[in-house]
Amino acid sequence: AACLGLRRGEICALKWSDFDWKRKEVKINKATVLTDESEWKVKNPKSYAGNRVLSLSDGLIAELKKVSSKGNVIQATPTHISHRFRWTVKALGLEHFRFHDLRHTFATIALGNGMDVKTLSSMLGHVSAATTLDIYTHITDDMRLTAAANIDRGIGKAASEINPCST
């Protein structure tokens, strides 16, 4: 979730066959969802944008291979993941941090490191980049400082073009 911005239902629906180690990618094409009958079922994503292929970093591949080499299967319900996550963050003293906050954090860090909104939106499985901007990104202090510096540079450049004697 923290490395790819996946939803917990998408993580629960993954199988090792969804990973292509040579191409360094994973196919996201299903999600575990709670039905009206209160049963967990693997279904297609809720929108066409939910079907996507994500690139994997070398570090993430190394960690995933450690788990897969032990024969471990990716098998849990979204509720199980949430309970385990809550237990872990509570032990770390981060009691108000939800599993879904990893998705928000991923989006914010990605934008803060220069990822364009359209690419991020695609990675998150959103139909619209507006959804990504409205819901999943949060402005950090570094982003505000960078924006202020960029504005300052832009104003300085514009001022020198208007009045060449000002430089």
Residue 131's pLDDT is what? Answer: 83
Q: Which pLDDT score, from 0 to 100, does residue 97 have?
A: 87
Say whether pTM exceeds 0.85: no
Classify residue 96 by burial, with Cβ atoms within 10 Å: 0-12, 13-18, 19+: exposed
Which residue type is seen at 76? A
Looking at residue 122, its pLDDT comes to 92
CA angle 23, 77, 65 (to 5 degrees): 30
pLDDT at position 42, please? 92
3-state DSSP assignment of residue 19: strand
Residue 151: what pLDDT?
80
The residue among 128, 131, 103 whose CA lies nearest residue 49 is 128
Give the pLDDT of residue 77: 85
Q: What is the mean pLDDT of each run of 10 residues along the chain (167 residues)?
A: 92 92 96 90 89 94 86 74 90 88 88 87 89 73 73 67 55
Q: Distance (Å, rounded) from C-alpha 55 to C-alpha 61?
A: 10
Tell me, what's the pLDDT at 105?
Answer: 87
DSSP character for 42?
A: E
Whether the CB-CB separation of 28 and 53 falls below 8 Å is answered with yes
pLDDT at res. 71: 67
Distance separating alpha carbons of residues 96 and 138, to the nearest angstrom: 17
Question: How far is Cα 125 from Cα 63, in angstroms, rounded to an integer?
Answer: 23
